[in-house]
Amino acid sequence: MTQPDSASAPVPPFLRDPAPMLARIRGQWAGHQAGGGRHADLWIFGYASLIWRPDFESTERHATRVHGWHRALKMWSRINRGTPERPGLVFALLPGGSCQGMVYRVPHREADAALAALWAREMPTGVYDPRWLPCQTPHGAVPALAFTLSRRSPNYTGDLHPQQVREIFRDARGRYGTTLDYARQTFDALRQHGIHDRRLARLLDLAGN
């Protein structure tokens, strides 16, 4: 379903309290630690800005692929890459397909601080559905924390017309810069790790690149 154009997209209220979700994730991670070995550390899957600005220290990082989810520039951004009057777009991990990205290993002693920083950055309104997705690493499969989005979320854009995307690339700007710069940075970071996102390349073509 096509949503209203970016300028008239509805502004959702406060979505969900993020604190209980953080407590749940911490509890699940504690369960993973019981397995010892590679599971004792925190693994995080990055598919967009976490690739080029992770904001946490990691001892390992590997290109990987998750199945059952795909990267899509289909989430409204009214602060970071747009405004309430002219929303921008950011990536979300949506159900279906697969997604190439990066998986990071955070030592268990630094995991609590990394989770707190991630929640402050990604979850101030509880918009994402954080979940554990299996990722392949040189050590075998690990459960990695990923930030997914429900298509029922008021921040999900639905299918946008190409002209809407062009206008957002041209006009949307938030506290961290433009939607177009964000999309370009993600595309370039993926390429640096040998990942070519054809869907994103086609979107960037709409900006005249």
Domain ranges of the chain: 13-204
125: confidence class by pLDDT, cuts 50, 70, 90: confident
Q: Return the HEC string of the chain.
A: CECCCHHHCCCCCCCCCHHHHHHHHHHHHHHHHCCCHHHHCEEEEECCHHHHCCCCCCCEEEEEEEEEEEEEEEEEECCCCCCCCCCEEEEEEEEEEEEEEEEEEECHHHHHHHHHHHHHHHCCCCCCEEEEEEEEECCEEEEEEEEECCCCCCCECECCCHHHHHHHHHHCEECCEEHHHHHHHHHHHHHHCCCCCHHHHHHHHCCCC
Per-residue pLDDT, averaged over 64-93, amounts to 95
So which residues are the catalytic ones? 122
Instruction: Return the top range by mean pLDDT from 18-22, 30-34, 145-149.
Output: 145-149
Per-residue pLDDT, averaged over 75-90, amounts to 94
Can you give the pTM of this predicted structure?
0.89
Q: Is the domain defined by 13-204 classed in CATH 2.40.160.20?
A: no
32: confidence class by pLDDT, cuts 50, 70, 90: confident
